[in-house]
Amino acid sequence: MDAIFNRYRSYRSLVVLVVVVMVQVLYLAYQVKTGRDERLIRVWAVSAVTPFSGIFEAIRHNTVGFMKDYFLLLDVREQNSKLKTDNDKLRMENVFYRNQLATAEHARALTIFQAKTPSKTVAARVIGDSTVSTAKAVFIDRGSTSGIEKGMAVVTPNGIVGKVAAVYPLASQVLLVTDSTFKVGVESQRGHIHGSLNCGSGHCVVEQIQNEEDIAVGEWFYTSGEDRVFPRGFPVGTTLSVAQGNGMKDVRLNLSGAPGGVEEVLVVLEGVHQPIPTAVPPEEKMAPPLVPPPPDSKDLTGVPAGPGQTEADKMIQKYEQLGKQQDHVYGAMYSNMPNYNVKPAPKPVAPAGLTPGSPASTPPPTATAPPTQTGPVVLGAPVVHSTATGAPNHATATHPPAVRPTAPKPNLPLGSPRPTATQPVTPKPSASNPNATQPQ
Amino acid sequence: MNESSDHLLRSRRSSDGLFSRFQVAGLVVLTLIAIISKFYLPRLIPSAVWLEVPLLLTIYFGLMRPDPVPALLFGAFVGISEDSLSPANLPIGMYGITKTLVGYFAASVSQRFNVGNSLIRLVLCFFFYCFHAFFYWVMRRALLQQIVPFDTQLTLLHGAFNVAVALPLYLILDRMKLSDER
């Protein structure tokens, strides 16, 4: 009897293995068959993990970055006190661009984009990645309590990022466009040629484009709205290479949204279709990412930009002002570290051109919007100066966010019929909309 | 040596196993840290997306505990925990099945071979990483009909990368086990 028991005991582990694997296979088959997502397990797991991830992200974002900037600034200031050389200026400019571009301008770009886009959006921060290395997905710190629902599009001012794959109370999972299972309906800027973006093979290609179609290298692609996820008119990327294939063209795309490395995103709560911006002459160059402020404007600190002041000088003034306000002595040991994220105390004279309730006076965290811009100008928008006045002419720029026509746009809800490829992309003048511009 | 003495030896070996020295709480905490690190570490270090700390823990647990049943149950637990944080288009159970098999095979190997040698453990670790990646890819193709590329060279490279991480990790885990004995 004992021998029989021992004989069966040797098979015990095999039996347990088969049972455990079979249970999981059946459970998996049930999920695939019914298409049901086992929400309870995922909610528990995400709710248990995201608080830790949120804490880590907050520590990294606020402490580590702050310490890095602090020591860098301290180093630069010591050198600057010894000699005012060009090298020091370059370092200060580096600090300036790193601080301002990475934080304030990024937030400002999101805010301006959020304010200008006809779609209703909510900003979110990326707090974690997926556990599957081959799948491209991230978690953001907004969930169903912020009005986010499954299937919503996720974008940045520069381009598309992905779609909401799962929603939890305080977090959501975003499937990136670079995931192998994700396809996006896209449309070329010049010929309005429709295709399907697929990034599953390691590089992003636009499929379903006939060899006879004409696609130029560098041409922009926009969302076509056919996938029922992204509203029409969001920038996707530029054409990297075009090659004749077996019946279909091999069009490779360079994504403009950088979905893998993005830190802040916008979730489109209510999408509105927009027209595809018109094509522009290829000789026009991209402008630098920052729109330069007009000569009479104030800088970010509220300090007037006097003649001869460089960006490094403004930076020094700003940080000296912050240090004085918070009783910090630069270079002294045990001196409390100042908080560089607070806004310096404003000067008694209010900046000209800003009225209460204007977009520039509303929440943007550390920066104000350029005061003289009338169109939907976004960070990274190219600026083309007109020959007559030298004023920025954003209507003819090449970068997607800036080429939106300034005339009233036909804001179409999701699912409504859109202009076809043969129709002009900008609205024609009509009785109801006489100010609409013709395509250029 | 008859079956009864073999059974006695085996039962003694089991009682001397991991649970007696390596507390369950510590193991659960380590597993949670591994899963959270896989969830968050790629935000800090993008290349860490290929780091499979939960798999390394499963292999270690299997190798250190020759009884396959706890090893496969531990693998299932770790795998399902990972599945619950995977993209919603991947059903729960993919990692669960894969890691169940890894845990079982690791424990089975440790029954037949002396896995106390670090070199053997690292070779087995490399093998199980490749097995894990390949089996997961097969399951995505076969069960979910998802066409995803499988890069052999990249998998081998990531296997070597994980082995490099496993070397200090296993030493730390060994040290923790020894310190518990004192």
Among A126, A135, A150, beta carbon nearest to B87: A135
Higher confidence at residue A391 or residue A165? A165
Asked if A6 lies within 8 A of B7 by C-beta distance, the reply is: yes
Among A6, A9, A28, beta carbon nearest to B94: A28
Based on the number of CB atoms within 10 Å of its own CB, is A28 exposed (0-12), middle (13-18) or buried (19 or more)?
buried
Instruction: List, as ranges, residues 95-134 from B with C-beta within 8 Å of A.
Output: 95-97, 100-101, 104, 107-108
What's the average model confidence in pLDDT over A234-258? 86
Instruction: List, as ranges, residues 360-379 from A with C-beta within 8 Å of B.
Output: none
Among B38, B96, B147, beta carbon nearest to A24: B96
Asked if B39 lies within 8 A of A128 by C-beta distance, the reply is: yes
Give the chain B residue whose CA is nearest to the CA of A53.
B40
pLDDT band at A86 (very low <50, low <70, confident <90, very high): low
pLDDT band at A76 (very low <50, low <70, confident <90, very high): low
d(CA A133, nearest CA chain B) in Å: 6
Per-residue pLDDT tens over the stretch A147-198: 899 889 998 888 899 999 888 888 899 998 888 888 889 999 888 889 999 8
Residue A180 contacts B where some CB pair is shorter than 8 Å: yes
B97: which chain A residues are within 8 Å (Cβ-Cβ)?
A: 21, 24-25, 28
d(CA B111, nearest CA chain A) in Å: 12
Q: Return the percentage of chain B with pLDDT > 90, whole number.
A: 26
A154: which chain B residues are within 8 Å (Cβ-Cβ)?
A: none
The answer to whether residue B99 scores a pLDDT higher than 90 is yes
Domain boundaries, chain A: 2-32, 118-273
The answer to whether residue A241 scores a pLDDT higher than 70 is yes
Domain A118-273 superfamily per CATH: Rod shape-determining protein MreC, domain 1 (2.40.10.340)
Task: Write down the ipTM of this complex.
Answer: 0.79
How much is the pLDDT for A402? 40
Residues in chain B: 182
Q: Which of A329-338, A413-422, B46-55, B109-118 has the lowest mean pLDDT?
A: A413-422
